[in-house]
Structure 1
Amino acid sequence: MAFVIMACALPEYALWWPFFVVLFYVLAPIPTMMARRYSDHSGSSNSCLESAIFITMGILVCSFALPIVLARGSVIKWGSCYLTLTGNVIVYGTLLGFFLAFEADDSDYNMW
């Protein structure tokens, strides 16, 4: 989050458009968490979980595409775009670590 805030608040950038990626941070894990909570845990392929993963990946791609589109449209500067993309990598790496840590545990994140 520090990189995203720096991309918005540094004096040479001074625009808060890149902060809209925070909406994607909130939306990204929701489809997967809902699908894992309401799906049966059989060994076969689960279309609900696969659809949720597809929606999650669409949200993830949008969060990387938004700063690039804003920078190409000259709405924000490229330095702000790079800081936002760095923040994206760190936030999604943390979310991935969260999901992987609770996948092998007996108590899962569904209790939250």
Structure 2
Amino acid sequence: MSGIKALVGLSFSGAVGLTFLLLGCALQQYGVYWPMFVLFFYILSPVPGIIAVRLSESHGDSSSNSFKELAYFFTTGIVVSAFGLPIVLARNSTIAWGACGLVMTGNIVIFLTIFGFFAVFGSGDELSWDEF
């Protein structure tokens, strides 16, 4: 039952993060949809970690897992790019600074949601995605 509660909580926080992103795009004083390109970063951020877990399982465990370290590096680059895109757009006067703030708030909430999902369902101990 706690898995259902965690999933509902993560869904709610994801909806809140996407609401901030949409507010940064669709409010009348902003009205520019360029920040929606941040959605690509949301989709790409878990991919290196998933690939590294699969590769490390097939190659066995070692004391220093280079696959996971490389995945952390690529994931960090993706997350930093997601925070950098609205700043670059705001500095170029493509979007307003208020829209940049809303998109940054949405980024924080969405990336914490993604991290929370993998923290709750990625451990594989007592609570896993296979239960659903």
Instruction: Say yes or no: TM over 0.5.
Output: yes
**Among 101, 116, 124, the residue aligned to 1:82:** 101
Tell me the distance in 2 between the aligned counterparts of 1:103 and 1:26: 17
> Helix, strand or coil for the counterpart of 1:105?
coil
Residue equivalent to 2:23: 6
1:60 aligns with 2:79: yes
Task: State whether structure 2 residue 47 is matched by structure 1 residue 30.
Answer: yes
Question: Which deviates more from structure 2 when the two are superposed, residues 94-103 or residues 16-25?
Answer: 94-103
Residues 63-111 of structure 1: CA deviation (Å, up to 9, x unaligned): 000000100111100000000000000000001111111243337569x
Distance in 1 between residues matched to 2:129 and 2:49, nearest whole Å: 11
| RMSD of aligned residue pairs (Cα, Å) | 1.7
**Shift in Å, 1:43:** 5.1
- Provide TM-score, normalisation by structure 1: 0.90
Distance 1:33 1:63 in 2: 19
Partner of 2:71, secondary structure, is helix
Structure 1: which 5+ runs fail to align?
none
Q: Residue 93 of structure 1 corresponds to which residue in structure 2? A: 112
Alignment-mate amino acid for residue 10 of structure 1: L
**How many residue pairs are counted as aligned between the two chains?**
110
Report the TM-score, using the length of structure 2 for normalisation.
0.77
Structure-2 separation of matches of 1:34 and 1:46: 13
Letter in 2 for 1:88: N
Structure 1's consecutive aligned runs of 4 or more residues displaced over 3 angstroms after TM superposition are 106-110
**Percent pairwise identity:** 46
SS in 2 for 1:64: helix
